[in-house]
Amino acid sequence: MGNDQSRRHGPETPQEFFRELRDLPEGDSSVYWLLSQAARGVQANRHCVLAAVKKNGLALDVVSDESKADKEIVLAAVTNDRDAYSYVKTTNKMWKDKDFVVSLVQLQGNALQHAKPPLNADKDVVLTAILNKGSALQYADPKFKKDKEVVLAAVLNEGNALKHVDKNANMWKDKDFVLAMVQMQGDAFSHVNKTANMWKDRDFVLRMVNMRGNALEFENDSLKADEEVVVAAVKERGDTLAFVDKTANL
């Protein structure tokens, strides 16, 4: 302990710490080093820690486990720097506190991965997380990966959230959901149910081929002979001519 302390060259008292901290700008990496080199008594001082993470959230890395499980300190750190959440004590009971978890995932959606059941299955918590970071959908209870409201919100926030969506869910037969998804993320078309009744709906088909001309392949045969539908499809993508009804009088 004595040898460890002798290697420290930072402030020995909270008063010294605050004097030095006052002169450092917000976000300055020197805040991290100031706290890391401070005497043990300073590092254990809650007021010093709170002041430090408010200036540089990443200073949470060098504080005690007790401070990493202090809700006010954690939220202050993540408010300053979203990446500070990776230093939070993940085994603490605070992860069962809905108010805390909602506040944290509102700042850093990926923190949802540490939420304890049943909070990772709480729609308020999950929606709050994905509205911050769409790909946080991967950490949600599986039921939300086939929840239309949650999925649309996730993909709207972050296109690559699509890879965490349930590709076999019934929502892929829902024309309103499908149109919204393909409009936001073209790659979603590959997951659309191609045999659903919606392909007999002219309005749906017309809107779809305006976004993805090759959707003509999956339409009801009568619509492959519909001049407006065919023209829209070919205009969007020329090679869709292969799917046009060759016997139609267009």
pLDDT tens digits for 174-203? 999 999 999 999 999 999 999 999 999 999
Distance CA 188, CA 193 (A): 11
Whether the pLDDT of residue 2 is over 70: the answer is: no
Here the tokens at position 158 are 């972050």
Distance CA 13, CA 45 (A): 10
User: Which pLDDT does position 248 carry in this prediction?
Assistant: 55
CA distances for 49 relative to 2, 34, 59, 64, 78, angstroms: 22, 11, 8, 9, 13
User: Which pLDDT does position 48 carry in this prediction?
Assistant: 98
User: Which pLDDT does position 231 carry in this prediction?
Assistant: 92
Residue 16, phi then psi, degrees to nearest 5? -65, -40
HSE of 15, CA atoms in CB hemisphere, 13 A: 0
- Cα-to-chain-centroid distance, residue 18: 36
Rama region for 133: left / alpha / beta (φ>0; ψ in -120 to 50; rest)? beta
Task: Give Cβ neighbours of residue 75 (< 8 Å, ≥ 6 apart).
Answer: 100, 103, 104, 107
String of DSSP letters for 192-224: S-TTSGGGG-HHHHHHHHHH-GGGGGGS-GGGG
User: Which pLDDT does position 96 carry in this prediction?
Assistant: 93
User: Residue written as tokens 């997951």?
Assistant: 191
- Averaged pLDDT of the chain: 93
Instruction: Give me the amino acid identity at 117.
Output: P
Distance CA 65, CA 178 (A): 47
Which 3 state secondary structure label does DSSP give 81?
coil
Distance CA 53, CA 33 (A): 12
Whether the pLDDT of residue 245 is over 50: the answer is: yes
Contact 2, 15 (CB under 8 A): no
User: Which pLDDT does position 3 carry in this prediction?
Assistant: 46
Task: Give Cβ neighbours of residue 64 (< 8 Å, ≥ 6 apart).
Answer: 43, 44
Distance CA 51, CA 136 (A): 30
User: Which pLDDT does position 247 carry in this prediction?
Assistant: 62
Least confident of 12-16, 51-55, 227-231: 227-231
- Cα-to-chain-centroid distance, residue 151: 11
Q: Average pLDDT, stretch 18-32?
A: 97
Distance CA 119, CA 103 (A): 13
Which 3 state secondary structure label does DSSP give 89?
coil
Which 3 state secondary structure label does DSSP give 72?
helix
Predicted TM-score of the model (pTM)? 0.86
